């Protein structure tokens, strides 16, 4: 299909007329946006039908990515770019007198995720479609995404994210594909004609209704599907007797409790063990998704024994790990297979990705609760575990200690990571270092038992959203310089290496960066009323607020600079703007206090004549995908400063690099691979290594108070937290203070402080050398292609899923 500007305009005008009986100029912004979305969906629909048909007919491997989170952000721009009609559309809108920027801003982010894990799932969808892998997303259509963050008096305040309030133009409700999900009730076995049958009675039914969103590949004909499930009451379950007796409240109660299942996304690390609703959510979308896969599998008329040859299921962390038992249930109870066959098929189908080594983030469910809510799933889990423990017992000659350590069910809890490992044929970490730590530390018993299951898949990011879309100026310059084939083959960005030393090219990349910085300064002025200098270094740390990510280390460096400036107002430093953006989980007090600390420091420093021309602090409210797209192209410095060993991978690090920021980093997660790619001249490293951190944890020899006593800078800063220097209420930051002293600084902020300060001075020194700096930036862009999620997806497809790409012809 060739769409040129004239027929695009005609199509669009017609769409507005048909949908709203309005013409282009008179229509409201919302209607203009909706008509455009609907038109784009029309443009995708033929290829969408064709893609599904082709997958059904060619009967090749299809991949299902199960995830509690899909942090997709906005879809208007990415759909236009992937269709190849962005320029035509913007020009056409110009002709029609419609302000494009305002249209873009109508769309609300689909914020159906917390952070890295959810955004990774969204990048993967884009890459699967763009590389032609038959891969679909399966998740929950939350009515409310992650809370919106407001800053009031320096504190985070959470506001519901009602992202569906204007409707969602991208989705299609598929009433006819609804399935039933059963909770609780009684399960028993019954003999019938010499066969054992499983009977499940007195259960509560929930209707799962899918909403499908097309995932359009970049300039190909593939349109995959993101299927998100919404919970509704079964019509026959509506309590008509209460209703007709006038007891509306009672009639509505069930409806309310069922709909609660897909009402709201849980913020991470508010992870209080055993939240019933969270478990309901997990089983709800897993059961609905697996049932729907089974249905479309059966339509293809293939033997159930071959299920795993046609279906691959990737589980994104342990949140969908009940999928293991659910597939067993479907194969045995619904399809009549025996245990051994069902088990072989299940493990050959499932694969598990681990995203964390933080012990407190590993999901555990209390047996009592699990059993009551999912009685049949519990029976199956128990049997999987019984057989697994038996195997361990025999392999280790009756070593009960091993059995206890590895048992899926232990001390009254079900350990979901263990269920996922046992029930899958593949277990992967998300960066080289992370996978090594899984193999040799956290999951070493399992690695010893199942070495063949373990593998690494370093994360990636879609260069279409994170370069082509968010930084079109840089993308155009790259295309002018090395041609456009890097867009389909991102590794070709490497050809920019020839231009790293080219003064002319350096100049051009620098102008693009500066223009972004000017634009962003205006945005900050109009939104926050803070004036910032576009010529200052833009030093950016944007990510979830967590102690291990160490926003506090960044703050300590700023406090140190401020203290130096107060001693010597003529201190010679390159002016710097420290930019933060971060949401804290609502129940994570230390994280929320850290936000308050940043804002307190910001108002102090930004208003102090001694400091404000040298350092500025900006805290951006409500950091999310759309804000990331704005800020990342502006960054000179990318802060990736987690305590080594704690950040599984990070993906923000890759986005910044791709936009020409210089990384200041610990050797953690994918920073290690970025370092390997760019070399020591093009990244600024500091701090303890992961091995040193692990040794300290083991030998318990770290004493934060020794550093507090011996380093005058640290002594001053730590005291300033509680001596009234920052806040009239001396208790305001006492939790932060106490996390360091007396609680001995779990994340080595004090230990890495000196090394970090030196690294920051190195940045100051390098930034003064314009050409050197720009050369470093170009090397980073050139080497970033390997971190395209297209590469990651190709590795998953080849090594885990065994799923070849499929070309869709129209």
Annotated catalytic residues are 355, 543-544, 549, 651, 655
* DSSP reduced 3-state for 7: helix
Residue choice 230, 356, 594, 640 for contact with ligand 26Q (CB under 6 A):
356
Q: Measuring CA to CA, how many Å separate 649 from each of 72, 432, 791? A: 19, 9, 16
User: Do residues 808 and 224 touch, judged by C-beta distance below 8 A?
Assistant: no
Show contacts with ligand 26Q in window 260-279 (CB under 6 A): 266, 268, 271, 278
What contacts 398, CB < 8 A, 6 or more positions away? Answer: none
Strands 576-581 and 195-201: unpaired
Task: Give the residue nearest to ligand 26Q (CB).
Answer: 116
Would you say 114 or 127 has its CB closer to ligand 26Q?
114
459 binds ligand 26Q (CB under 6 A): yes
Q: At 244, list the tokens.
A: 């007709």
* DSSP reduced 3-state for 102: helix
Nearest-approach distance from CB 528 to ligand 26Q, in angstroms: 27
120 binds ligand 26Q (CB under 6 A): yes
User: Do residues 462 and 123 touch, judged by C-beta distance below 8 A?
Assistant: yes
**Of the ranges 52-60, 618-626, 643-651, 700-708, which one interacts with ligand 26Q (CB under 6 A)?**
643-651
690 binds ligand 26Q (CB under 6 A): no
Burial of 393 (0-12, 13-18, 19+ CB in 10 A): middle
Burial of 330 (0-12, 13-18, 19+ CB in 10 A): buried
Would you say 49 or 276 has its CB closer to ligand 26Q?
276
429 binds ligand 26Q (CB under 6 A): no
Residue choice 19, 361, 528, 806 for contact with ligand 26Q (CB under 6 A):
361
**Structural Rg of the chain based on CA atoms:** 27
What contacts 68, CB < 8 A, 6 or more positions away? Answer: 139, 140, 265, 281, 282, 285, 316, 317, 319, 320
Would you say 507 or 676 has its CB closer to ligand 26Q?
676
Number of residues in contact with ligand 26Q, rule: CB under 6 A? 21
Three-class DSSP labels, 138-160: EEECCCECCCEEEEECCEEEEEC
Residue choice 213, 230, 426, 649 for contact with ligand 26Q (CB under 6 A):
649
Q: At 768, list the tokens.
A: 């003064």
| DSSP H or E run through 204 | strand 204-216
Nearest-approach distance from CB 727 to ligand 26Q, in angstroms: 31
What contacts 802, CB < 8 A, 6 or more positions away? Answer: 61, 312
Nearest-approach distance from CB 678 to ligand 26Q, in angstroms: 19
User: Do residues 625 and 109 touch, judged by C-beta distance below 8 A?
Assistant: yes
Show contacts with ligand 26Q in window 189-228 (CB under 6 A): none
Would you say 361 or 610 has its CB closer to ligand 26Q?
361
**Of the ranges 49-57, 110-118, 723-731, 776-784, which one interacts with ligand 26Q (CB under 6 A)?**
110-118
Would you say 20 or 271 has its CB closer to ligand 26Q?
271
| DSSP H or E run through 209 | strand 204-216
647 binds ligand 26Q (CB under 6 A): yes
Residue choice 377, 648, 704, 808 for contact with ligand 26Q (CB under 6 A):
648
Q: Measuring CA to CA, how many Å separate 248 from each of 233, 255, 256, 293? A: 15, 11, 12, 37
Residue choice 430, 542, 797, 800 for contact with ligand 26Q (CB under 6 A):
430
Nearest Cα neighbor of 547 from 739, 267, 687 is 739
Residue choice 52, 62, 79, 114 for contact with ligand 26Q (CB under 6 A):
114
Token pair 């800053």 is found at: 151
Nearest-approach distance from CB 694 to ligand 26Q, in angstroms: 17
Nearest-approach distance from CB 321 to ligand 26Q, in angstroms: 11
Nearest-approach distance from CB 411 to ligand 26Q, in angstroms: 19
**Of the ranges 355-363, 614-622, 727-735, 776-784, which one interacts with ligand 26Q (CB under 6 A)?**
355-363
Q: At 367, list the tokens.
A: 């047996």
Nearest-approach distance from CB 171 to ligand 26Q, in angstroms: 23
Residue choice 117, 138, 512, 688 for contact with ligand 26Q (CB under 6 A):
117
115 binds ligand 26Q (CB under 6 A): yes
116 binds ligand 26Q (CB under 6 A): yes
Residue choice 363, 442, 636, 639 for contact with ligand 26Q (CB under 6 A):
363
320 binds ligand 26Q (CB under 6 A): no
432 binds ligand 26Q (CB under 6 A): no
Would you say 117 or 231 has its CB closer to ligand 26Q?
117
> Which contacts of 159-164 are long-range, i.e. CB under 8 A and separated by 24 or more positions?
160/264, 161/111, 163/108, 163/109, 163/110, 163/111
**Of the ranges 17-25, 109-117, 151-159, 794-802, which one interacts with ligand 26Q (CB under 6 A)?**
109-117
Site string for ligand 26Q, 743-782 (x = CB under 6 A): ----------------------------------------
| DSSP H or E run through 313 | strand 311-316
Nearest Cα neighbor of 508 from 780, 779, 778 is 778
Q: Measuring CA to CA, how many Å separate 367 from each of 404, 409, 412, 417, 585? A: 16, 8, 5, 15, 27
Token pair 């920052």 is found at: 726
Q: Measuring CA to CA, how many Å separate 587 from each of 157, 158, 260, 583, 590? A: 12, 11, 20, 12, 9
Token pair 């263990």 is found at: 418
User: Do residues 689 and 708 touch, judged by C-beta distance below 8 A?
Assistant: no
Three-class DSSP labels, 599-646: HHHHHHHHCCCCCCCCEEEEEECCCCHHHHHHHHHHCCEEEECCCCCC
Would you say 123 or 684 has its CB closer to ligand 26Q?
123
| DSSP H or E run through 230 | strand 223-232
Show contacts with ligand 26Q in window 663-682 (CB under 6 A): 669
656 binds ligand 26Q (CB under 6 A): no
**Of the ranges 115-123, 416-424, 489-497, 758-766, which one interacts with ligand 26Q (CB under 6 A)?**
115-123
Q: At 599, list the tokens.
A: 């804002």
Nearest-approach distance from CB 421 to ligand 26Q, in angstroms: 17
**Of the ranges 116-124, 620-628, 710-718, 793-801, which one interacts with ligand 26Q (CB under 6 A)?**
116-124
Nearest-approach distance from CB 665 to ligand 26Q, in angstroms: 13
Site string for ligand 26Q, 373-412 (x = CB under 6 A): ----------------------------------------
Nearest-approach distance from CB 213 to ligand 26Q, in angstroms: 21
Would you say 212 or 269 has its CB closer to ligand 26Q?
269
Q: Which residues pair with 651 in a beta bridge?
A: none
Nearest Cα neighbor of 47 from 3, 101, 110, 112 is 3
Nearest-approach distance from CB 356 to ligand 26Q, in angstroms: 6
Would you say 490 or 650 has its CB closer to ligand 26Q?
650
Q: Where are the alpha helices (DSSP H) in 225-275?
A: 240-244, 248-259
Nearest-approach distance from CB 635 to ligand 26Q, in angstroms: 18
Residue choice 9, 177, 308, 355 for contact with ligand 26Q (CB under 6 A):
355
Our CA dihedral for 688, 689, 693, 695, rounded to 10 degrees, sits at -120
Nearest-approach distance from CB 363 to ligand 26Q, in angstroms: 6
Q: At 463, list the tokens.
A: 């260069």
Would you say 356 or 577 has its CB closer to ligand 26Q?
356
Would you say 111 or 116 has its CB closer to ligand 26Q?
116
**Which chain residues interact with ligand 26Q by CB under 6 A?**
114-117, 120, 266, 268, 271, 278, 355-356, 361, 363, 430, 459, 647-651, 669
């Amino acid at each position: 299909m060739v769409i040129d500007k004239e027929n695009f305009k005609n199509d669009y005008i017609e769409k507005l007329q048909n949908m709203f009986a309005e013409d282009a100029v008179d229509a409201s912004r919302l209607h203009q946006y909706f008509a455009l979305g609907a038109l784009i969906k029309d443009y995708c629909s033929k290829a969408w039908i064709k893609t599904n048909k082709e997958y059904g007919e060619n009967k090749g491997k299809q991949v299902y990515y199960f995830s509690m989170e899909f942090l997709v952000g906005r879809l208007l721009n990415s759909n236009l770019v992937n269709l190849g009609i962005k320029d035509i559309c913007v020009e056409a809108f110009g002709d029609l007198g419609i302000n494009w920027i305002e249209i873009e801003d109508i769309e609300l982010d689909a914020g159906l995720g917390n952070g890295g894990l959810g955004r990774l799932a969204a990048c993967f969808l884009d890459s699967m479609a763009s590389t032609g892998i038959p891969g679909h997303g399966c998740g929950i259509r939350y009515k409310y995404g992650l809370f919106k963050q407001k800053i009031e008096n320096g504190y985070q305040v959470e506001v519901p994210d009602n992202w569906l309030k204007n409707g969602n133009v991208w989705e299609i409700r598929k009433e006819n594909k609804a399935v039933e999900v059963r909770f609780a009730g009684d399960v028993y076995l019954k003999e019938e004609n010499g066969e054992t049958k499983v009977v499940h009675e007195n259960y509560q039914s929930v209707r799962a209704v899918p909403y499908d969103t097309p995932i359009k590949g970049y300039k190909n004909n593939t349109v995959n599907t993101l299927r998100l499930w919404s919970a509704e009451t079964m019509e026959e379950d509506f309590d008509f007797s209460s209703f007709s007796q006038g007891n509306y409240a009672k009639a509505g109660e069930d409806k309310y409790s069922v709909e609660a299942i897909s009402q709201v996304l849980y913020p991470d690390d508010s992870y209080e063990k055993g939240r019933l609703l969270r478990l309901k959510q997990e089983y709800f979308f897993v059961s609905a998704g697996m049932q729907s896969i089974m249905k479309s599998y059966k339509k293809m008329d293939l033997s159930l024994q071959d299920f795993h040859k046609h279906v691959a299921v990737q589980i994104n962390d342990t949140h969908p790990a009940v999928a293991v038992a659910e597939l067993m249930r479907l194969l045995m109870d619904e399809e009549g297979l025996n245990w051994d066959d069902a088990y072989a098929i299940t493990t050959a189908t499932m694969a598990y990705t681990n995203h964390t080594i933080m012990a407190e983030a590993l999901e555990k469910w209390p047996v009592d609760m699990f059993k009551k809510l999912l009685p049949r799933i519990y029976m199956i889990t128990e049997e999987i575990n019984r057989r697994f423990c038996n195997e361990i017992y025999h392999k280790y000659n009756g070593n009960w200690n091993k059995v206890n350590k590895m048992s899926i069910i232990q001390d009254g809890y079900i350990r979901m990571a263990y269920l996922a490992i046992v029930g899958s044929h593949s277990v992967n970490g998300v960066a080289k270092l992370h996978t090594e730590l899984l193999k040799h530390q956290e999951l070493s018993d399992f690695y010893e038992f199942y070495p063949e299951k373990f593998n690494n898949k370093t994360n990636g990011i879609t260069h279409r959203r994170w370069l082509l879309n968010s930084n079109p100026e840089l993308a155009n310059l790259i295309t002018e310089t090395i041609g456009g084939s890097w867009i389909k083959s991102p590794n070709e960005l490497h050809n920019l290496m020839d231009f790293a030393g080219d003064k002319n090219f350096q100049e051009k990349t620098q102008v693009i960066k500066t223009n972004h910085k000017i634009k962003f300064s205006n945005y900050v002025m109009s939104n926050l009323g803070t004036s910032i200098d576009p010529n200052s270094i833009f030093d950016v740390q944007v990510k979830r607020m967590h102690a291990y990510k160490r926003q506090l280390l960044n703050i300590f460096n700023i406090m140190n600079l401020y203290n130096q400036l107060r001693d010597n107002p003529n201190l010679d430093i390159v002016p710097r703007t420290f930019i933060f953006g971060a949401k804290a989980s609502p129940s994570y007090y230390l994280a929320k206090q850290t936000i308050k600390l940043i804002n307190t420091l910001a108002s102090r420093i930004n208003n102090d004549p001694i400091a404000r021309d040298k350092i500025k602090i900006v805290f951006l409210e409500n950091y999310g995908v759309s804000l990331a797209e704005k800020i990342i192209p502006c960054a000179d410095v990318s802060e990736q400063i987690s305590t080594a060993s704690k950040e599984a991978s990070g993906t923000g690090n890759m986005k910044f690099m791709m936009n020409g920021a210089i990384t200041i980093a610990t050797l953690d997660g994918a920073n290690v691979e970025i370092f390997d790619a760019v070399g020591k001249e093009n990244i600024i490293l500091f701090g303890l290594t992961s091995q040193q951190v692990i040794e300290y944890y083991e030998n318990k020899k770290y004493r934060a108070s020794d550093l507090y006593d011996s380093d005058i800078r640290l002594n001053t800063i730590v005291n300033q937290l509680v001596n009234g220097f920052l806040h009239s209420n001396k208790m305001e930051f006492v939790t932060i203070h106490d996390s360091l002293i007396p609680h001995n600084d779990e994340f080595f902020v004090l230990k890495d402080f000196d090394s970090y300060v030196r690294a920051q001075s190195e940045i100051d020194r390098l930034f003064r050398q314009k050409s050197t700096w720009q050369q470093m930036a170009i090397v980073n862009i050139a080497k970033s292609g390997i971190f395209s999620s297209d590469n990651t997806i190709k590795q998953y497809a080849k090594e885990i899923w065994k799923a070849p790409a499929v070309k869709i012809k129209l």
